[in-house]
Structures are given as structure tokens and as C-alpha cells.
């Protein structure tokens, strides 16, 4: 079975942003149970009021309309997340698609991965994701989907 491998790349910032993915992955390695949810704000070391999670293909214009501010990050064959505070991008982590191995960590913006919308916005209170561990041979990774609010 072919899996999409997402590798974090430089996306609109001067240095590579990978800390959130690493922190969430490490947390799940230590705490994953049958049903584990993570709240993204528990992993951020900065303030934000909006998190946009987007998927490829998406245009610069669609991103800017979604977050309400100019975005200068790279969107070439990428998916990722953008954090905004007071109408300013404060952090992003971008995932570049490769088609060779299992993705270590992938956050979907909606429960149905076949949904046609390309992004979803979350507040610090609503950015809560249910986690699923997936395996392929000896490799494994995590998929995160928005938690169903009861």
C-alpha cells in the first residue's frame, strides 16, 4: 500500500519549523491509547487566536482569504498549518508531499478526508484532534482528525 510521506519544509519563515510535529509525535508515542485526543494549544509556546489547517491543492489567494492576512509561505504541493494572532501570521509548519513511505504525523482539517473543502479554521478552544496510530510493516505514524464534539 502506498502512503504519502509528509516532510516538513521551510514555509514562510526563515528557519524550518518542526517543533510542534515533533512534540505531538513524542507525546503520542508516550501516551497513545485507544482514544487519545490532543489539544494543539497544549503544545504551542506562543499565543495565537486562529489555526488554519490546509491541504494540497490550495492557492495563495485561498489561504489569504481564509486567514484574512497576507501569507508569504511556500504552497508548492504542500499541506500544513498556519497560526495567526491579531491578523498576523505568527508561526507555520508546512508538510511537503513525497510518495515513498508512511507519514510520521498528519493532521487533517476535517473528519472525512475526501471532503472537498481545502481547509478548516480552529480557535485555541476548538483545535482538539482525535489521534489514530497507523502502521505499515515496521513503520508507524499518527493521523489526527478533529474530535467530534458531543
- State the chain's mean pLDDT as an integer: 78
Grid cell of 28 as nine digits: 503520542
Across the range 39-62, mean pLDDT stands at 91
Asked if residue 73 has pLDDT above 90, the reply is no
Asked if residue 65 has pLDDT above 60, the reply is yes
Give residue-wise pLDDT tens across range 9-40: 223 333 446 678 889 989 999 998 888 999 99
Q: Provide the pLDDT for residue 139.
A: 84
Grid cell of 93 as nine digits: 509548519
Give the percent of the chain with pLDDT over 70: 75
- Degrees (nearest 5) of the Cα angle 35, 129, 145? 90
Q: Provide the pLDDT for residue 77.
A: 61
Give residue-wise pLDDT tens across range 125-138: 999 999 999 888 88
DSSP the chain: ----EEEEE--SSSS---HHHHHHHHHHHHH--SSEEEEGGGT-SS--SEEEEE-SS--HHHHHHHHSS---S--TTEEEEEEEETTEEEEEEEEEEESSS--SEEE-SSS-TT-S--EEEE-TTT-EEEEEEEEETTEEEEEEEEPPP-
The total of other beta-carbon atoms located within 10 Å of residue 46's CB is: 8
pLDDT band at 112 (very low <50, low <70, confident <90, very high): low
Amino acid at each position: 500500500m502506498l502512503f504519502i510521506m509528509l516532510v516538513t519544509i521551510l514555509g514562510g519563515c526563515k528557519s524550518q519549523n518542526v517543533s510542534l510535529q515533533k512534540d505531538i509525535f513524542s507525546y503520542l508515542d508516550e501516551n497513545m491509547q485507544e482514544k487519545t485526543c490532543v489539544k494543539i494549544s497544549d503544545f504551542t509556546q506562543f499565543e495565537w487566536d486562529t489555526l488554519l489547517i490546509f491541504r494540497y491543492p490550495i492557492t495563495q489567494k485561498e489561504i489569504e482569504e481564509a486567514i484574512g492576512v497576507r501569507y508569504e509561505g511556500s504552497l508548492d504541493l504542500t499541506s500544513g498549518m498556519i497560526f495567526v494572532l491579531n491578523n498576523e501570521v505568527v508561526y507555520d509548519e508546512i508538510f511537503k508531499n513525497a510518495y515513498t513511505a508512511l507519514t510520521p504525523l498528519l493532521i487533517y482539517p476535517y473528519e472525512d478526508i475526501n471532503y472537498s473543502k481545502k481547509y478548516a479554521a480552529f480557535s485555541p478552544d476548538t483545535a482538539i484532534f482525535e489521534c489514530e496510530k497507523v502502521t505499515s510493516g515496521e513503520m508507524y505514524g499518527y493521523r489526527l482528525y478533529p474530535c467530534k464534539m458531543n
